[in-house]
Amino acid sequence: MNDPVVPAPALSLFRATSFTRKKIRVQKAAGILFGAMACALLVPLLALVVYLVVNAWPALTWEFLTDVPQGGMRRGGIWPALIGTLYLVVFSRLFSTPVGVLAGVYLNEYAKDNWLTRVVNLAVVNLAGVPSIVHALFGVGAFVIFAGLGKSVLAASLTLAIMTLPVMIVATREALAAVPMAFRVACWNLGASRWQTIRTIVLPNSIGGILTGVILEVCRAAGETAPIMFTGAIFFKAVERWDFFPYSPREQCMALSYHLHAISTQVPGVPEPMLYATAVVLLGFVLAFNSLAIVVRFRMRQRKKW
Amino acid sequence: MDIRELHRTVDTADLDLWYGSFQALRRVTVSIRQGLITAMIGPSGCGKTTLLRCFNRMNERYGNARIAGHVRILGRDVYDPDVSLIELRKRVGMVFQRPNPLPLSVYDNVAFGLRVHTPRARRSRRTEAEAVETALAEVGLLDAVQGRLRRKGTELQLEQRQKLCIARLLPLKPEILLMDEPCSALDARGTEAVEELLRRLRGRYTIIIVTHNMAQARRISDECVFMLSGEMVEHSETAAMFVNPKDRRTEEYIEGRYG
């Protein structure tokens, strides 16, 4: 039996035409352009960090962190401001975390799609867009004057809490929404109540995302100047070195962000490295917490398998 | 009580269901007999899954579902206002297309149902362990997971995951098991294993299985319900339906002329 004769294929079969070559060229060019934009992101960050650290280097010592300001802020360190920022962060998280997480759980797990839910969602979005200086003025009105807290750690923390609340809610909702619906359906079909489902399945599997939100908002609370400027930050308070409890909640406190603002604009003759060093400490604080958020997220991702 | 009533575990009478303005079920009246495997067949979109979901009131999750008519489980209208969904779902278990074990250990997956229905003070480690072991043995998973009960249920093989999803219903001692295409995500071997399991569970539970696989319906079911466009066309013994369908539409579907 004879094999059928297969005609030789034309030489042009499967060869790129000039139009195909052009398509590939354009695709490559687009890839390179977009990649360059992505890398461009790193440039300002690196430049900023290098510039700050180089200028701050002479003043960056352990002494600088643990010493108190001396000579009208022109010598010494930043200990009281560092502790003050810690105070504000801890107090504001104490207010904003429970409220934000519980509200997020309600909106994602309980709320039906009705006008009330839509109003709350709209409020969350709008609250997130309010400039921090407006939050500051609100804080003055609501907490300093109306609630009678005066300018204090409490008033400033509450202002920061209100400012960070929307992001807390959104982060919580996103973390919850990342838990597959199939798990909830499985629970409900075994006769678990909504709350049992949330407690045993949904929250344990979204805690990583929620924690990430908390940590990122720590950075924001630490970095903002405007909200605390009128509500609780003070220019100077005499504090002992290594005193971890220098402020009572009803007192005003120093804070890194406000301290940086004050010594760079209000006090003449502060040595430049001190200014930069203060900025580096603030930046380091934020970067450290951001890295913590990344670690938390990474560990949670490794743990979950579905 | 009428002796025939005793055999009825799931009844519907003139059941209509709308999703918004789309009517998904039309005047469905069906009664499903206790202890048998009843298969619901029909082309995609015929309403078989919707009907299944009425039996444990799962349709309510889809906010816009409206219902008229009656669904009785063990003689009780489950749409009565004083029916608790939690109690209903304890007695009417459901298995889904994609195996969905909880992200807990194998042991905790099976114990989960007991735990959510028992106040903390009345829980006993021993009864729990016994119930877990019995349930795993009943689905034939005990040997496979022995010594690995602390492993996550989500890490088992697909077929074992589906068996786990069946096992976790059993400690609650349900009367009725609803299965929504339980084998469609499984390969041939997995399908065979699950079908084998259903045969073993037959008699102890009333099993209602939705399937798009006619051959499967024929292999495992005692009775068949054929649905089309939201209507129940025919309900007869499986052997009879496949050999001698009463309705012309059933005949055409079985012959593969549509669907």
- Interface-testing mutation among B52, B96, B116, with chain A (most A C-beta atoms within 10 A): B116
CB contact (8 A) between residue A187 and residue B86: no
Number of structural domains in chain B = 1
Strands (E), chain A: 69-70, 75-76
Q: Which residues of B touch A181 (CB under 8 A)?
A: none
Q: Which of B6, B7, B45 is nearest to B210 (CA)?
A: B45
Task: For B47-99, write each residue's pLDDT tens digit.
Answer: 999 999 999 998 887 768 899 999 999 989 999 999 999 999 999 999 999 99
Cross-chain CB nearest to A190 (options B58, B96, B168): B168
Q: Name the residue in chain B with its Cα closest to that of A306.
A: B154
ipTM: 0.89
Cross-chain CB nearest to A182 (options B61, B63, B98): B98
Cross-chain CB nearest to B116 (options A182, A183, A196): A196
Give the list of residues 6+ apart from residue B42 with CB closer than 8 angstroms, or none: B48, B226, B227, B228, B233, B253, B259
Task: For A161-203, write each residue's pLDDT tens digit.
Answer: 999 999 999 999 999 999 999 999 999 999 999 999 999 999 9
Task: For A216-243, write each residue's pLDDT tens digit.
Answer: 999 999 999 999 999 999 888 888 888 8
Q: Name the residue in chain B with its Cα closest to that of A182.
A: B100
Note the pLDDT of residue B1.
41
Task: For A132-146, write each residue's pLDDT tens digit.
Answer: 999 999 999 999 999
* Residue B32: CATH number of its domain: 3.40.50.300
Residue-level pLDDT, tens digit, chain B, 259 residues: 444 455 678 999 999 999 989 999 999 999 999 999 999 999 998 999 999 999 999 888 776 889 999 999 998 999 999 999 999 999 999 999 999 999 999 999 999 999 999 998 888 899 999 999 999 999 999 999 888 899 999 989 999 999 999 999 999 999 999 999 999 999 999 999 999 999 999 999 999 999 989 999 999 999 999 999 999 999 999 999 999 999 999 999 988 888 7
Note the pLDDT of residue A113.
83
Q: Which residues of A touch B109 (CB under 8 A)?
A: none
Note the pLDDT of residue A305.
59
> At the topology level of CATH, where does A79-303 sit?
MetI-like fold (1.10.3720)
The answer to the question of residue B259 being in a domain is: no
Instruction: For residue B98, give how far its alpha carbon lies from the nearest alpha carbon of chain A (Å).
Output: 9
CB contact (8 A) between residue A190 and residue B169: yes
CB contact (8 A) between residue B89 and residue A191: yes
Instruction: Give yes or no for a contact between A239 and A63, defined as CB atoms under 8 angstroms apart.
Output: no
Question: Touching check for B98 and chain A: CB below 8 Å?
Answer: yes
Q: Name the residue in chain B with its Cα closest to that of A183.
A: B102
Q: How far is residue B140's CA from residue B138's CA, in Å, rounded to a whole number?
A: 5
Question: Touching check for A201 and chain B: CB below 8 Å?
Answer: yes
Domain that holds residue B138: 3-254
Task: For A264-286, write each residue's pLDDT tens digit.
Answer: 998 888 899 999 999 999 999 99
Q: Which of B11, B64, B19 is nearest to B230 (CA)?
A: B19
Question: Touching check for A301 and chain B: CB below 8 Å?
Answer: no
3-state secondary structure of A157: helix
The answer to the question of residue B54 being in a domain is: yes
Note the pLDDT of residue A1.
58
Q: What angle do CA A252, A258, A259 make, to 5 degrees?
A: 95
Q: What is the mean pLDDT of residues A43-68?
A: 92
Cross-chain CB nearest to B89 (options A188, A201, A305): A188
Note the pLDDT of residue A244.
87
Q: Hey, which residues 33-62 in chain B have their CB within 8 Å of chain A?
A: 56, 58, 61
Average confidence score pLDDT of chain A: 91
Task: For A111-126, write each residue's pLDDT tens digit.
Answer: 988 899 999 999 998 9
Note the pLDDT of residue B3.
45
Q: How far is residue A224's CA from residue B121's CA, in Å, rounded to a whole number?
A: 49
Q: Which residues of B touch A188 (CB under 8 A)?
A: 61, 85, 89
Query: pLDDT grade, residue A72 (50/70/90)?
Result: confident
